[in-house]
Structure formats: C-alpha cells, structure tokens
Amino acid sequence: MGTGSFLVVNMKTTEALSLDDIRSQVRAQVNALVSTTDDMDGPWITDIFLSDAIVEIEGEFFRAPFGNDGATVTVAPRSEWKKVTKEWVVAESARQNKGIHKVKTTFFSEAIDLSEAEFSEDGSRVRVTLIQPGWSKNKRYYSADVLKAAAPLFEGTKAYVDHPTKLDAKQRPERSVRDLAGFYESVKVEDDGRITANLFLEDDAMKAKVKTAVEQNPNYVGLSINALGKTRMGEAEGQKGMLVENIVKANSTDIVTTPAAGGKFEQLLMSGDEFTNDLLEAISLEELRAARPDLIDSLKNEWKTVRDTKALETARDENTTLTEANEALETQLTEKDEQTGRIKT
C-alpha cells in the first residue's frame, strides 16, 4: 500500500504541464516576486513563450525567464529580468492615411424620403428606399460597399409609430405592441447601390397616411432609420464629414412626422437601456478606454483581486498536497520502524 502511494506521487511529477498550468504558475510567482501597492498598475502577464514571459509593470515591459521541468515552473529572480520595448507595427494602409480620424462606435438616424416610394397593387405594401450611397440629409456618407454589407440587417426590421420618448426608452425599451405598425421584407441592393425594401403595413389608417405622403405631400409623414455603426471623420466626393464605416445593427425604421430631426433622437438612443447594451457589444476596448478610463482602472483592480485570490488558493492547495504527502510518508516510516522493532525482538 505504501509503495502504491509513492507511485502516484511519481506519476504526478512526470506529467507534462498544460499551457494554462504554465501561465498559472508563472502568474503566481511573478506576483510573489513583485512588491505591489494598492494603486500600482500591474504586474500583468502580456505574453508567454517557451522559456520566458513578458511582464508589464507600471507601463514598462520586462522579459522574465523561467524554467520548466515538466512538473514545476520556476521564474528567475527580478535581478535577471531584462527591460524590453514592445512595438506595435503600423499597417501600410494606416501609413497612407495618417490624416484619417479614429473610428468610433455611435448611434445614428437617417431620414427616408417617400416621394419616390411605390405602393403594391393591393395597397398592403410600399416599396421604399432605405439608404442610398453618397451623402445623406443628416450629413453622413455611405459607400456602396458599406450598404451592400448592411442590407441583410434590415430584413424583418420592425416599423413603429413615432420614435420612443425618453421615458419609453427607460421603462419599455422593447417597445409596445400598440406602437407596432409593420415590418420590412424583401430587402434588396439595387444596381445603383440603394437598399430598398417592402414596408408591410397592417393598419388601414397608417396605410392612408403613408399613401398621402407618397402621392400628395412627401412632408406629411416620413420614415426614420435608427441604427448602430462605426463612423469616422473624413472626406468623400470632395466633401468633409462623418463617414460610415459599417452598420452593426438596424434597430428599427419608424414612421414619424419629422424624419430629418436626427440629432435629438440620437441622444435618446444613447439614453435607452437596450441601445446601451447594443453599444457595449459593439464598442472597442480603445474606445472604452478613452471614454471611461475610470472603468478600466476599476476592472484592473478587480482583476488584481481575483488574481491574488487565485494565487492564494493555488498556494493553499499546494501546501495541502505537500502536507498530505508528508503525513503519508511519516505513516510509512512509522510502520517500517514498528516492523523493524518486531523483527529485533
């Protein structure tokens, strides 16, 4: 039985460490080797290679060598760490466009002109142009490629009566069924790059209002898209302004009385809980870091707490394993001493 216990211990020491095991041991030892304070930024393990790790401390990078015997990783003492410079290579496209502004994730709304819309023969659907290439009424530029990629997002998009109020956005971000007017189907990218779709309307009164706008007065009612996408400041077709890089989500396209008034609605979008979730899903780490550095600092502190807790748990588990092994060894030695005593007597 005692021999069996020794075999189990030997098996554990000869097992190869996984990458997660190596990273965990390196992290625990780096934390032990670096004296930290509550307001200190780091240490952070940014990269791990076969025999060394890159450690970030207070914005500086160090190469920390470590050994690996297959069971245990041993990180070299701080005196053997080498300070290194971490470089980010700029892509050729970025070099050629140094004057282009950063891409931002933002909400935006666009007005839809119904003057060229057409009703179906049975009057249940109206063919509308959702967005067309070029500069929009709200001073945003859409390329044909951006619209082609975004077209599938509008299939099945709902149409509501009026944009939600600020109170609606907070209390009922999913919108009420009473506000539902119809939906968009048969979305298509035309030869000239326009995105067109059939707007299916259920309510006869709403059909009449839209028909009045189509056939008599295009300013009577209109359509307004609200969407989420990536934009940047730039120049296109000899005009400077906001360029839409891509459309991430088409939330809805509503029937409103003043479709061109996009600014106020965009502020409303950013106040709604559902739209905030959409924004958080699409926003990049760089944008979040620039907008909320305090949040990044809070996350770092939380990660540090979790990291320290895991390191303590690992050390406690290793100590427990060592204690159990020592107890087993002492038991075996005691049994052998007793056997030796009986033989002598």
Position 9 pLDDT exceeds 80 = no
Clarify whether residues 279 and 133 are in a common domain.
Answer: yes
Q: Which of 51-55, 59-63, 302-306 comes out lowest in average pLDDT? A: 302-306
Clarify whether residues 206 and 136 are in a common domain.
Answer: yes
Clarify whether residues 124 and 216 are in a common domain.
Answer: yes
Q: For every residue of the chain, which 3-state class applies, written as one string? A: CHHHHHHHHHHHHHCCCCHHHHHHHHHHHHHHHCCCCCCCCCCEEEEECCCEEEEEECCEEEEEEEEECCCCEEECCHHHCEEECCCCCCCHHHHHCCCCCCCEEEEEEEEECCCCCEECCCCCEEEEEEECCEECCCCEEECHHHHHHHHHHHCCCEEEECCCCHHHHHHCCCCCHHHEEEEEEEEEECCCCCEEEEEEECCHHHHHHHHHHHHCCCCCCEEEEEEEEEEEEEEECCEEEEEEEEEEEEEEEEEECCCCCHHHHHHHHCCCHHHHHHHHHHCCHHHHHHHCHHHHHHHHHHHHHHHHHHHHHHHHHHHHHHHHHHHHHHHHHHHHHHHHHHHHC
On the question of a cis peptide bond just before residue 43, with omega within 30 degrees of 0, the verdict is yes
Domain that holds residue 62: 14-87+294-323
Clarify whether residues 61 and 171 are in a common domain.
Answer: no
Mean pLDDT of the chain: 74
**7 assigned to some structural domain:** no
> How high is the pLDDT of residue 172?
57
Which one is predicted more confidently, 241 or 298? 241
Band (pLDDT 50/70/90 cuts) for residue 191 is very high
Q: Which of 71-75, 98-102, 248-252 comes out lowest in average pLDDT? A: 98-102
Give me the number of domains the chain comprises.
2
Comparing C-alpha atoms, which of 64, 102, 105 is closest to residue 83? 64
**47 assigned to some structural domain:** yes
The model carries a pTM of: 0.50
Clarify whether residues 253 and 149 are in a common domain.
Answer: yes
Position 4 pLDDT exceeds 90 = no
**116 assigned to some structural domain:** yes
